[in-house]
Structure 1
């Protein structure tokens, strides 16, 4: 099961709507081995396409260096589908190279970048096998301020 906070869910949906009719893509990083999506990173779809997404290789390399330095890993790898359901395509399955990641798909086919619900689904993709999982959206944790 994927558990993410409302702010992260809203950020992914907002990115998908904003980039429609092109596909959007991004990563939510978290502490290595934690399965906690904590740091939302919006990426550029280098393909600039309504039917395909591609991370910019320079941007992706920089992000991985940053995650290594912070002992993070991609907890969520997300992208949108603009004209089809939120289910991984053959290309998506072939590109899925993070066995610990949740692959989130957001379909904006019904309302595009207008108000209205989207289809938001999550999958595990390991060795080409796709398994859908439940998504739990929880309230954002309040920030705890430390006073000295």
Structure 2
């Protein structure tokens, strides 16, 4: 189960809506070994595409150095789908290389600034996708 604060949940959704019609992407870091998302790190979709996301390799290297310096893990790796449901695509599954991370997908299909959206979390390990419950809390 992913437990995430309302503030982080809202930041992820806001990023997805802001970047629409392109896919948004980013990370929520947390203290190493805790599985507790704490620090919102929006990233640039280097692909600038409505159907694909890609972290910029330089930004990704900086992120991982920063995570190491702060003794953090990428607890949540998120991105949006702009025209399909919030479920990992084959490409998403092939790029999932953090077995300990929660992969969050937000669908902004058929939505507007205040409209409905999907917010779902998955574990992706060795190509196997397992959906998990999302619990949104006010604070940890």
Same fold (TM over 0.5): yes
1:18 aligns with 2:18: yes
Q: Distance in 2 between matches of 1:110 and 1:5?
A: 25
Question: Secondary structure of the equivalent of 1:17?
Answer: helix
Q: Distance in 1 between matches of 2:100 and 2:92?
A: 16
TM-score (norm 1): 0.93
* Runs of 5+ consecutive residues of structure 2 not aligned to the other structure: none
Q: Distance in 1 between matches of 2:124 and 2:24?
A: 19
Larger radius of gyration, structure 1 or 2? Answer: 1
Q: What is the RMSD of the two structures over their aligned residues, measured on CA atoms? A: 0.8
User: What do residues 12-42 of structure 1 show as CA deviations (whole Å, max 9, x unaligned)?
Assistant: 0000000000000000000111000000000
* Runs of 5+ consecutive residues of structure 1 not aligned to the other structure: 142-148
User: What do residues 93-145 of structure 1 show as CA deviations (whole Å, max 9, x unaligned)?
Assistant: 0000000000000000021x42112100000000000000000000035xxxx
Question: Secondary structure of the equivalent of 1:92?
Answer: helix
Structure 2 partner of 1:144: none
TM-score (norm 2): 0.98
Q: Distance in 2 between matches of 1:139 and 1:114?
A: 23
User: What do residues 28-82 of structure 1 show as CA deviations (whole Å, max 9, x unaligned)?
Assistant: 0001110000000000000000000000000010010000011101000000000
Question: Secondary structure of the equivalent of 1:91?
Answer: helix
Q: Distance in 1 between matches of 2:14 and 2:88?
A: 20
Number of residues of Structure 1 aligned to a counterpart in Structure 2: 140
